[in-house]
Amino acid sequence: MRFLPVSLTVLLVELKDLDETLALFASLEADPVEGIEDMVPAARTLMIRFRPDRLTPERLAADIAHRDLSAKIAPSDMLVDIPVHYDGEDLADVAALTGLSVEEVVSRHTQSTFTVAFCGFAPGFGYLVGGDPALQVPRRQSPRTKIPAGSVALAGAFSGVYPQNSPGGWQIIGTTPLKMWDLSRDPPALFQPGYRVRFFDLSRRAMAEVESTPAPAKPQSDAQAGLSIRVLSAPMPALFQDLGRFGQTGQGVSASGALDLGAFKAANRVVGNPPGTPCLEITLGGFSFEVSGRAVMALTGAPCPITIRDVNGREMTQATYQPIALEAGDVVTLGFALKGARSYLALRGGFDISPVLGSASTDTLAVVGPDPVTSGAVLSIRSDTAQLSAVSLLELPAFDLPMAGETVTLDVIMGPRSDWFTDHGVKTLSEQTYEVTPQSNRVGIRLSGPEALERKDKAELPSEGTATGAIQVPHSGQPVLFLADHPLTGGYPVIGTVADYHLDLAGQIPVNAKIQFRPVTSFAEIKPAKG
């Protein structure tokens, strides 16, 4: 058992195999440690997020080190049958890799009873174990940019079904008409950890009933006709965000949430809203709306110029981080943000938006949460004032926002896979400057540097949990800095993780800015505390 640092609030426990991982996960659920906030089991690791004010990594490691990992997890009573058209484009390749005929591959897959070991990669994506060992095949050397939803696939010791269209490198052997992820179902994920799963061949066995569920209804506002804003322009769709979506990792859903939490919270304080009230996250400005009645707004984060035109055509400018009074018919237009990347728009009372899985955050990778806000949308504002407080006149930006061309320095906690890289590779991370490419988004910042990060070998990393701020290094050697919408698990080594206190800054770095990584720790395994 190894204890590896991830960040100031996350550690990774590396175990011998999946059985030990699931045993430790079950042990910590049955007998929890005070201060643990979340856990993400994976193939041979358990990622644990903890509260540093209640728990140190060394104390947590000491508790875990003495846990009994010999117990087997009792199988679930839940059995899910999955109908499959065995027509996958990699079926012949799988047969060649295994030395079996196509018919034998199908036969062995349908005769196996699988167990959902854990969920990750995408909402509803269950990693299934317990299949015929003869079907163990490597991932594709060149991942596909798009795999259709419902694709049944193999990789290593796992089988799985892609719940939505997404990139991936697993070997596709068939397709199923069943929905793996459906927000109109409770729970939305068809596969839950511990469930047993069997596949059957639709060409040999008629399917009595294919699950058919209606598309989830659009969230309905409970507000009567009243105060609202009508969006006139949104060059980039605005997104509802709040503090994040927690407690859904068992279904493969990460937290998401505002990329600059400090600016998000400040926007709500300026207008007197409760701290977690949903705001609109606006990327690079250009957003415009008309308000139907008297209101108070605030804009924080990236400093877009604010222009207000009243019903008589008079224009005035306003400042960010200040409460702004609006009258019926006022048109608010945000200019282009010359610094930073994301602004936060709050209206006093809050937007009347229904949460999805406990949060109003829109997760762009998982496609979970309210729809993106585009031109023509009408957004209702709540009129309940019971929880409102006085507006704040004292808010200021927490840091200087970066501009394109400027270099931003981010502190990095080294680990959990720093030892997968050569000394030269580790040195390269901190010595070279990276440019933020246009392919960056809320999932992650894609970086380009003059030299690839050198690994010790080309070994394949079993999927393991990833944290916000993780610097993941794919085969290209050019790192990706994960932001709030990152996948829950990943299959490339993470050389280090941006320190928690610099995550808001990372979320404000615009395209064509530059990043310098500054390690503030040296990689070392965490040693359990004594006594």
What domains, with CATH codes, occur in the chain? 2-65 (3.30.1360.40), 79-201 (2.40.100.10), 228-380 (no CATH), 407-519 (2.40.100.10)
Report pLDDT for 134: 97
User: What percentage of the chain exceeds 70 in pLDDT?
Assistant: 96
* Highest mean pLDDT (candidates 41-45, 107-111, 167-171): 107-111
Question: Is 161 in contact with 152 (CB distance < 8 Å)?
Answer: yes
Instruction: Assign 219 a pLDDT band (cuts: 50, 70, 90).
Output: very low
Strand ranges of the sheet holding 79-84, from the earlier edge strand across to the other edge: 79-84, 196-201, 114-119, 126-129, 158-161, 151-155, 171-175
Q: State whether residue 521 is helix, strand or coil.
A: coil
pLDDT at 224 over 70: no
Residue whose C-alpha is closest to residue 442's, from 361, 514, 378, 382: 361
How many angstroms separate the CA atoms of 299 and 291, rounded?
15
Asked if 297 contacts 276 with a C-beta cutoff of 8 angstroms, the reply is no
Higher pLDDT, 472 or 205: 472
Average pLDDT over residues 165-171: 89
Give the pLDDT confidence score for residue 221 in this predicted structure.
Answer: 42
**pLDDT value, residue 220:** 43
For 378-414, the pLDDT digits (tens) are 999 998 888 999 999 999 999 999 999 999 999 999 9
* Residue 218, pLDDT above cutoff 60: no
d(CA 353, CA 278): 8
pLDDT over 70 (residue 225):
no
Can you tell me whether residue 505 is helix, strand or coil?
Answer: helix
465 CB neighbour count, 10 Å cutoff: 28
Give 215's pLDDT tier (boundaries 50, 70, 90).
very low
Among the residue ranges 3-12, 97-106, 247-256, 322-331, the one predicted with the least confidence is: 247-256
pLDDT of residue 211: 47
Tell me what the pLDDT averaged over the chain comes to.
Answer: 93
Residue by residue, DSSP assigns 415-474 as -SSGGGB-HHHHHHHHHS-EEEPTT--SSEEEEE-SSPPPBS--PPPPPEE--TTEEE--
* pLDDT, tens digit (0-9, with 9 covering 90-100), for 457-513: 988 888 899 999 999 999 899 999 999 999 888 889 999 999 999 999 999 999 999
Instruction: Give the neighbor-by-neighbor strand order of the sheet with 279-283.
Output: 239-241, 279-283, 342-347, 295-301, 324-326
Read off the amino acid at residue 497: T
**313 pLDDT above the threshold of 90:** yes
- The residue whose two tokens read 């840091």 is 399
Structure tokens that stand for 494 in this block? 């993470």
